[in-house]
Amino acid sequence: MLLVTGGAGFIGSNVVAALNDAGRSDVVVCDFLGNDGKWRNLAKRQLVDIVPPAELMDWLKGRKLEAVIHLGAISATTATDGDLVFETNFRLSMRLLDWCTAAAVPFIYASSAATYGDGETGFDDDASLPALKKLRPMNLYGWSKHMFDLAVAGRVANGDPLPPQWAGLKFFNVFGPNEYHKGSMMSVLARRFDDVKAGRIVQLFKSHREGIADGDQRRDFIYVDDVVRVVMWLLATPSVSGLFNVGTGKARSFRDLMLAAYAAHGTRPNIEYIDMPEQIRGAYQYFTQSEVDRLHRAGYNGGFTTLEDAVKAYVGDYLDRPDRFR
């Protein structure tokens, strides 16, 4: 069996879909379904079980698994409960790492581009302890992910036991189907598509940094299908371990993203720029762009979808349909 933690979430449910599409029905999901409709992310899937996170370690006792894909986390960059975030994102990850080490089970886990903070030190996925210690995450979520990266890197540096395969994936700005339960953490495209479709005004943030135009704040937007391909490649390539950026390597603006949405729907652009809330201005990233050389050197050659093609696929296959779920 394969275990996917966070399997009812955004990226996790897309990984589960890809596993089903590849003929794998022996998939166990660990997640909360809650009351926000997350179950719909799995409504088309075939599973063995859904295990609540609090029961996971007991469920694992005596199990034999092919791999653990650990995507479960509190992923809101606005989270403020430090104890809950640390327990969920760090301590549970450590318990899973220890279990996979003892059971000799491959372990693929989600890190985050949020570990890079404001990007002042760059976006190089150097997994050495000296390199990681230079990073300064700007929010609680990024810090919790960074702490786990440091813990894994410490074991590598000390020659301590690890799973037969371990891979940390620093996801950049992922968008695509099944993100709808994420509320304010959904991509701007998912949040604003109904406005695009109706011809209403779409609001983007003004720039509060000299030399950067309104709406020209840039992110490394990556379509979820590309992320899933990397995960599936790692499952099929157990010889590869390491910490890897997962992005396109090309930063694009929020304005580009929304113009692509208008083009995909055939609607005339209608964008206005509003002041960024003061409470987030000091922690706002104006630029993220992954360096993906290490992933390529490790052997990945799956390529990445262009922003325009990704938006066209998302709009045409999901957002502009009655059933938006994968």
Residue 2 backbone phi and psi in degrees, to 5: -115, 140
Output the pLDDT for position 74. Answer: 87
Over 80: is that where the pLDDT of 282 sits?
Answer: no
- Residue 305 confidence (pLDDT): 97
Checking if the pLDDT of 80 tops 90, the result is no
Q: What is the pLDDT of residue 283?
A: 74
Q: What is the pLDDT of residue 77?
A: 83
Q: Would the annotation count 274 as a binding residue?
A: no
- Asked, for residue 228, whether it belongs to a domain, the answer is yes
Give the residue-averaged pLDDT of 271-280. Answer: 90
3-state secondary structure 230-268: HHHHHHHCCCCCEEEEECCCCCEEHHHHHHHHHHHHCCC
Count of C-beta atoms within a 10 Å radius of residue 211: 7
User: What is the average per-residue pLDDT within 300-326?
Assistant: 97
How high is the pLDDT of residue 184? 86
Q: Is residue 202 part of a domain?
A: no
Q: Which residues pair with 170 in a beta bridge?
A: 111, 245
Q: Nearest Cα to 69, choosing from 163, 2, 156, 148? A: 2
Average pLDDT taken over every residue of the chain: 95
Say what the pTM is. 0.95
Residue 182 known to be catalytic: yes
123 belongs to a structural domain: yes
- Reported as a single tens digit per residue, the pLDDT across 2-30 is 999 999 999 999 999 999 999 999 999 99
Decide if pLDDT at 280 tops 90: no
- pLDDT band at residue 284, thresholds of 50, 70 and 90? confident
72 is in an annotated binding site: yes
Spatial distance between the Cα atoms of 100 and 166, rounded to a whole number of angstroms: 9
38 is known to lie in a ligand binding site:
yes
- Residue 246 in any domain: the answer is yes
Token look-up 């890190």 returns 111
Q: Any binding-site annotation on 252?
A: no
Q: Is 143 a member of any domain? A: yes
- Domain tally for the chain? 1
Question: Tens digits of per-residue pLDDT, 178-234?
Answer: 999 998 889 999 999 999 999 999 999 999 988 999 999 999 999 999 999 999 999
Q: Give percent of the chain with pLDDT exceeding 70.
A: 100
Contacts of 182 (CB under 8 A, 6+ apart): 10, 75
Contact 258, 269 (CB under 8 A): yes
> Where residue 10 sits, what CATH number does that domain have?
3.40.50.720
Stretch 130-148: mean pLDDT, rounded? Answer: 95
Banded pLDDT at 114 (limits 50, 70, 90): very high
The one catalytic residue in 116, 141, 180, 262 is 141
* Residue 208 placed within a domain: no
- Count CA atoms closer than 13 A to 81's CA, side-chain side: 9
Determine the average pLDDT of the residues in 291-304: 96
Q: Judge whether 198 lies within some domain.
A: no
| Percentage of the chain modeled with pLDDT above 90 | 90
Domain enclosing residue 122, as ranges: 2-176+221-250+288-305
Q: Looking at the domain assignment, is residue 300 inside a domain? A: yes
Choosing from 182, 197, 250, 312, the catalytic residue is 182
Q: How many CB atoms lie within 10 A of CB 53?
A: 14
Strand blocks (E) in 177-313: 202-205, 218-219, 221-223, 242-246, 252-253, 271-274
Q: At what angle are helices 254-265 and 188-198 packed, to 10 degrees?
A: 40
**Three-state SS for 98?**
helix
Nearest to 186 by CA among 322, 72, 69, 77: 77
For 46, residues 6+ apart whose C-beta sits below 8 A from its C-beta are 20, 25, 27
- Calpha distance 149→163 (Å, rounded): 15
Active site residue 141: yes
The answer on whether 11 is annotated among ligand-binding residues is: yes
Is there a binding annotation on residue 219? yes
Q: Between these two residues, 281 and 302, which has the higher pLDDT value?
A: 302
